[in-house]
Chains A and B, each alone.
Chain A
Amino acid sequence: MPSDRQKKIRNFCIIAHIDHGKSTLADRLIEKTGTLTQREMEEQVLDTMDLEKERGITIKAQAVRLVYNDENGEHILNLIDTPGHVDFNYEVSRSLAACEGAILVVDATQGIQAQTLANCYLALEHDLEIVPVINKIDLPSARPEEIKKEIEDVIGLDCSDAPLISAKVGLGIDDVLKAVVEKIPCPDGDEEAPLRALIFDSYYDSYKGVVSYIRVKEGTIKKGTRIKLMMSQKEYEVTEVGIFRPSFMEVDELKAGDVGYVTASIKNVRDARVGDTITEALRPAKEPLPGYRPAIPMVYSGIYPADSSDYNDLKEALEKLQLNDAALTFEPETSIALGFGFRCGFLGLLHMEIIQERIEREYNINIVTTAPSVIYKITKTDGEVIELTNPTNMPSPSEISYMEEPIVNASIICPSDYVGAVMELCQEKRGTFKNMEYLETTRVMLHYEIPLNEIIFDFFDSLKSRTKGYASLDYELAGYKRSELVKLDILLNGDVVDALSQIVPKEKAYQRGRAIAEKLKEIIPRQLFEIPIQAAIGSKVIARETVKALRKDVLAKCYGGDISRKKKLLEKQKEGKKRMKQIGTVEVPQEAFMAVLKVE
């Protein structure tokens, strides 16, 4: 039975497809409940990283305590803002596990999208009460009634009294707050029982150490409590507990049903991972909370300093990022072409891009990154099984008995007009059709099994361009499958550039080899001598292009005494040179290493 205190609490999150207005709604809720004054508000309050604001995405989970008054008095609404991207699915699931309910935001012009469904099913798995909300009804193309019906048909949620809102202009926000209080159940849990608190996010603060965002399920936690992390088995003494307003506000204690943070002089997020359970060291709970799993990298890529003297700075940057990101892994590796660097593991492509951008931006290190690779399983003829994360390390074909590659279950939602185009794309990407269902007469959900390798190989961009941006995608790892794979090498000026090697399906090797050679011809600028570009499998060359030697300057003018302009042009040229990596005698632009993904 919930206590009177618990009856006043609602813990909820907002789930939505990207760009359906999740962060904007969160902003309005904060504003409406007076949690921040108008002056303190800035767009997307909960997205604190510059990157999040720029990309309009949420990377880290955040939380805020809202105080809402109605005729029954004061309610405490803990809003947990979750990441919206498939790369961070596990983080989403932990955030959901910290809540009793979820607001499902659906764009009144777009309807249900792949991530709407994926997150919705995730919420249902956690037994959350879902409150549908139709957003963007101020837009002329809004069709709220159709969308309501779609939600009822597809997800089976009653939408008869779903609030129709516009988070952007602040319409209907009160209805949302009312619905949260009325529909979402309050938390329960024995405040006197042994402590069990779920960590739904952790980040490293240089002053406080690791700050863990928690939902107390049972018991009470306060300053001085001797705690134990049930997975990492480490013990600490709590130095501070508090709530989010949305900045940190220390409180005396957090009890069953509360959402807040805890610090305990923990030095590394690895010791307080998302999903771990905090209990008391002296009176431990019998069982941890269910659902813990460590984050496992799905894709790997090499990160190298553009200037080799930045190696140590890069190492330090990765270490610092890792303090905050338990999913990021890295270990040193050496490339003949790129020198000393690191093989890094990521949850997915977005995670990878974010880390790369943060290294360049926050740590100001110019880096070269190689094309991402999935983890291949290779069974050798002697029976040994190895996991391959770097194509360069692929054993010679004679040592390989067979290879397996990771496969995902992909669901794609698109207007029915584009079914043909999507199917064609999935075919090209070696997809296996599973089934297809109509969400409404004009919209379809397709299920495919597709190799992850193809997903990271420009799948999303192709999907978007072939469906004029209407298709949405969600996927999850489904296991491994045997495949005919070969290593495709690229030679510049006769030498193999290891950082450009890729594992490709045998049937696509020729086509891809040609495409990469052509692409590199476009990207590699002309130099003093002619540069042959070759694609090869083993010793067999399958494609060849040539970058012609540079013959003359394109800018030579320097008359009338305008030396400054000439210097500026030269400086631009020099800047361009700096973004090049010297490989043997050839200067290769950094983007060449990623561009091999963007062919076809």
Chain B
Amino acid sequence: MRGLYIHIPFCKSKCYYCDFNSIIDNAIQDEYIKALIQEIELYKEIKFDTIFIGGGTPTILSINNLKKLLLTIKNFYPKEFTIECNPGTLSQEKLKLLKEFGINRLSIGLQSIDNNILKSIGRIHTFEEFLQNYYWARQLGFKNINIDIMYNLPNQSAKEFMNGLQTVLELKPEHISCYSLIIEEETKFWELYNQNKLNLLDEDEERYIYKKINQLLNKYGYYQYEISNYAKEGYECKHNIIYWTDEEYIGVGAGAHSYFDNKRFNNTADVREYIKNINCTKTARENIEQIDEATHISEYIILGLRMNKGISVLEFKNKFKIDINDIFKKEIDKLLLEGLIEKKGENIRLTEKGRDLSNLVFVNFLK
């Protein structure tokens, strides 16, 4: 498996919780798309099984730019072809275009069904607009749709959230990503948080919701395959799984990350800088890190454990020609004892508690 990630770093406005690489300046869209296409051309001989167009807000692109971009990538014929969409930037015309060019998976950012909350976290749309977009997509025949929702948002009670989740479930999406709010640096929420102006749930309530989400989603036939991701059987996001299972991926566009040929690297994050670099030198790569064996092993474990099925001791041995216990016996024993990981058949995986405290587990496997 190999994935291609395409980053569209533009938004109409910045959501208060978001620290992803995006800018509001849409005047340089045309230039950016030109550079992006140049970069994608470099990889045209490579076979990609998945493509993921993410952002920012990919659907903010004009029909024209969207078309140019899709024309460039249509010949990759990926098995899974996802685009992130945000209500408020979608039209039937755009959706039609996406469908025509073979996009077979939509990931729609809803975040909340409560219009007041949507407004208070800086979203530009209402729940009704989302519904409209969702129905259009179904009408046009999109059969694999993810809905992003968030919990632990300011001024949102556990009950309100669970009611909202119920509403989302009635829409029967194939996949649900459910993120607990993280206050990231350099966001508006960070500022408010430090001024003590965010009314958030206490930790116990937050964990309570997390458990409730699991129960409810299981009841509706979704299973959790990663810390924040739930899907109906067979609808897991293949592209994301690539990240967590040591498969290769190329990221194109400003700030995009790649793992290819035993190296990790990323593109420069500044959008103008990216355009300039591509135009002058055809590449915007920086921070090239050669992944040596020890790093490889540690990443394999840390990323693999994010998946609910965990890592297979057998596969590990086949891949690295060494028993995982020969390297991490002490750590594994300690974590088993602490109840953070468990053995299930051939696999080592996080327990429920371990998923809550995954970083505590992961640090043990840093090289």
A interface residue numbers (CB < 8 A to B): 528, 550-564, 566-567, 569-571, 573-574, 577
Contacts and interface: CB of A to CB of B under 8 A. Distances in A.
A559 B19 CA distance: 12
Interface stretch (B57-65, B119-127, B166-174, B251-259): B251-259
A562 B249 CA distance: 11
B357 A561 contact: no
A45 to B, nearest CB: 42
A556 B359 contact: yes
B363 A554 contact: no
Contacts of B299: 563, 567
A556 B338 CA distance: 20
Nearest to B299: A563
Interface string B221-253: 000000110000000000010010000010100
A584 to B, nearest CB: 15
A552 B203 contact: yes
Most buried by B among A528, A551, A569: A551
Interface in B193-214: 203-204, 206-207, 210
Contacts of B340: 528
Given A551-B357, A556-B182, A560-B256, 8 more contacts: A552-B203, A553-B358, A560-B251, A560-B257, A561-B249, A563-B257, A570-B363, A574-B363
Contact of B289 (A551, A560, A564): A564
A557 B229 CA distance: 12
B264 A570 contact: no
B362 interface: yes
A11 B299 CA distance: 67
Contact of B251 (A552, A554, A561): A561
Given A560-B54, A573-B363, A552 B266 contact: no
19 contacts: A528-B340, A550-B360, A551-B204, A552-B180, A552-B206, A552-B357, A553-B359, A555-B182, A556-B180, A556-B227, A556-B359, A561-B5, A561-B243, A562-B266, A563-B264, A564-B257, A564-B287, A567-B366, A573-B359
A201 B65 CA distance: 78
A571 B366 contact: yes
A177 B39 CA distance: 71
Contacts of A573: 359, 363
Contacts of B251: 560-561
B257 A562 contact: yes
Contact of B359 (A555, A562, A563): A555
Nearest to B251: A561
B356 A551 contact: yes
A559 B240 contact: yes
B259 A556 contact: no
A550 B264 CA distance: 32
B306 A558 contact: yes
Contacts, number: 83
Given A551-B204, A556-B182, A561 B259 contact: yes
Most buried by B among A528, A553, A561: A561
B258 A528 contact: no
B303 A550 contact: no
A577 B259 contact: no
Most buried by B among A528, A558, A573: A558
B258 A561 contact: yes
A464 to B, nearest CB: 27
A99 to B, nearest CB: 55
B268 to A, nearest CB: 14
B354 to A, nearest CB: 11
B54 A528 contact: no
Given A551-B203, A561-B243, A562-B266, A574 B182 contact: no
A560 to B, nearest CB: 6
Contact of A570 (B5, B207, B362): B362
Contacts of B20: 560
Interface in B1-52: 5, 20
B290 to A, nearest CB: 13
Contacts of B287: 564
B93 to A, nearest CB: 28
A557 B181 CA distance: 10
A563 B300 CA distance: 11
A550 B363 CA distance: 16
B259 A563 contact: yes
A550 B357 contact: yes
Nearest to B207: A551
B327 to A, nearest CB: 16
Contacts of B90: none
Nearest to B21: A560
Contact of B356 (A552, A555, A563, A570): A552
Nearest to B54: A560
B351 to A, nearest CB: 12
Nearest to B7: A560
Interface in B286-328: 287, 289, 299, 302-303, 306
Nearest to A554: B182
Please list the 6 inter-chain residue pairs (A to B) with the smallest Cβ-Cβ separation, ordered nearest first: A561-B257, A574-B363, A552-B356, A553-B359, A562-B257, A551-B203
A528 B359 CA distance: 12
A527 to B, nearest CB: 9
Given A551-B207, A564-B287, A557 B362 contact: no
A570 B302 contact: yes
B182 A528 contact: no
Nearest to B55: A560
A528 B243 contact: no
B186 to A, nearest CB: 13
Contacts of B266: 562, 564
A566 B249 CA distance: 17
A528 B360 contact: yes
A560 B357 contact: no
Contacts of A570: 302, 359, 362-363, 366
B203 to A, nearest CB: 5
Contacts of B54: 560
B363 A577 contact: yes
Contact of A564 (B5, B264, B306, B363): B264
A353 B251 CA distance: 50
A17 to B, nearest CB: 39
Contacts of A554: 182
Contacts of B356: 551-553
Contacts of A558: 243, 303, 306
Most buried by B among A550, A554, A556, A571: A556
